[in-house]
A and B are shown apart, each in its own frame.
Chain A
Amino acid sequence: MMDKLTVHDPRGYPPKVTGKRLAPRLEKLDGKVLFLVDCLFDNSEVFMNQLQRWFAQHLPTVRLKNIKPRESWVDDPDMRATIEKEGDAAILGVGL
């Protein structure tokens, strides 16, 4: 029988995961303000513009607003505050 070894676990220490609830969903999108958030990846603006056109054609009662963060990959509290104040929902794209 081969000898058994005791060895260390090489991994670091992950943080505890604390559950967070999702925001209440909208009963309907009609008349609601929907922010389209361009995450600034190359060509994502073109994608978001096409998404805007889709809504204009298929769900024209949704009130669309385009918005961009100040920098790529960096939280923009001002942008979030605007969405929270003026928006009912948001689509973020196209992220990783």
Chain B
Amino acid sequence: MALEEAGVPTVAVHTHVFARLVRSVALANGMPTTRQAFVPQPIVDKSPEQLRAYIEAADPISGRPFMQEVIEGLSQPLDEQDLKGLTFERSTPRLLEPDTEDHLRQLFEQNHWTDHLPIILPTEERVAGMLEGTSHAPDEVVGRLRPTMFREYWEFTVEKVAVNAVMAGARPEYLPVILALLASGQTARSSSTNSFAVFSVVNGPIRKELGMGDGIGALGPYNHANATIGRAYNLASINLQGGSVPGDTYMGTLGNWYNYSATFAEAEERSPWTPFHVQHGFKADDSIASVFFGGWYTQAGYGPRETWQQKFRHSFAAAEHYLPPIIVMDPIAARGFVDLGFDSKEKLIAWCARNARVTAQEYWDNQWTRTLLHPLGVAGVEPYAGRLRADPDELIEVYTADEIKIIVTGGETQGAWKMFGGVHRDGSSVSVDAWR
């Protein structure tokens, strides 16, 4: 659309499953009649002959010949709508029209404002009570969110976060954690076709103040604070960014159960290692919420058993290599690694970085390493350029040490660990204390 603004006529070609999405993006950019042509999904794995057939066939959305759409899109005269675009105000009211509880529940469900589980209706009284959980003014802007970088940012205030926290069943004392998570700017409801989710980890004194779970079932639905903070983060992400609606603002092909709620606390007192937030420059008595974008693959194991190195190598090889791992480890497993000489997370992470290897051919034969990382390699950006220079059969390291994270939590009923895809970006650890 920037090219159109600069005076260059364009046609954008998309696959047909994205028709609704790209049209709503065009509308939100004030250019609803931008010329678009569609071919069938997928493009990936199709041969040149199959793709040529797409070009020779009809546009699956309009039913007209695809190339006719393209050529007319560049050459057909503009009409009045094309010349002015579309300007309009969009606003969301503070309060909805009064209605019965049943009708309001229907309204929230029909408008995709829920995760399709029952919610607590955010009455004025409940929201006012939730706002008691922070000293910040209700109208203070917390931040902006969007479901993908193709879309526009929506802005939100402390009160809007409180509304969603009520819906999730959170308690007022949880609100500073929920505000910190959302202040990270990371949506928990990405619209990516990869069905991403976000894990969030809480460190510092706030864990104990809220009674967060870091024992048995730490990653499961066994603690009120964990469950409702994670749910509030997801519900708020849906509503504060302008939706997470399949086919429009959500395109994850399989979906992801971690999108219901995925928040837990690190078991700092029972971990043999430095807490995550201290590793990242915060003080031990700072309360910090950290977010990890990913949640796509999950590996699991026990140990360290005699063959732990093979198990770890296999797990890394089986992971998606565009997405570095966060390893969540029970304290028993962590202490086992200490017994093997890994007396810091950093030492174990360094071993992981050296041993997370696959052949260059396998690394690059992936839809998302091709799409996201290959161009960086071509442009000479390291470490991708080095991985691109490697021979196809050469084993290459697929994660840098600073990308791999380790968190200790769990009830010590077993020396278990799990490995999830999860990127911790700069600015992804936010002070909870700042939102008290």
Contacts and interface: CB of A to CB of B under 8 A. Distances in A.
Question: Are A and B bound to each other?
Answer: yes
A95 B22 contact: yes
Given A25-B75, A26-B9, A96 B22 contact: yes
Interface string B93-104: 111101111101
A70 B379 contact: yes
Contacts of B99: 4-5
Interface stretch (B27-35, B203-211, B329-337): B27-35
Interface size class of B (residues with CB under 8 A): 35 or more
A91 B67 CA distance: 11
A2 B87 CA distance: 41
Interface residues of A, number: 63
Contacts of A22: 4, 9, 31, 33-35, 78, 82-83, 85
A91 to B, nearest CB: 5
B124 A41 contact: no
B278 interface: no
B96 A7 contact: yes
Nearest to A68: B375
Interface in B67-90: 67, 70-71, 74-78, 82-90
Interface string A24-55: 11111100001000001111101101110110
A34 B113 CA distance: 44
Interface stretch (B171-179, B216-224, B236-244, B349-357): B236-244
A71 to B, nearest CB: 5
A23 B235 contact: no
B75 A94 contact: no
A89 interface: yes
Nearest to B162: A8
A80 B4 CA distance: 11
Contact of A92 (B10, B159, B240): B10
B11 interface: yes
Contacts of A17: 27-30, 86-90
A80 B13 contact: no
Contact of A24 (B3, B78, B104, B370): B78
Contacts of B236: 10
A94 B39 contact: yes
A75 B70 CA distance: 23
A20 B1 contact: yes
Given A10-B160, A42-B371, A91 B92 contact: no
Contacts of A20: 1, 4-5, 29-31, 85
The 3 closest A-B pairs by CB, nearest first: A19-B85, A93-B13, A12-B240
Interface of A: 2-29, 34, 40-44, 46-47, 49-51, 53-54, 58-59, 68-73, 75, 80, 83-84, 87-96
Given A6-B96, A8-B123, 7 more contacts: A2-B102, A4-B98, A5-B100, A26-B74, A49-B48, A90-B11, A91-B70
12 contacts: A5-B121, A10-B239, A12-B240, A22-B31, A23-B9, A26-B9, A40-B371, A46-B51, A70-B379, A89-B8, A91-B13, A95-B12
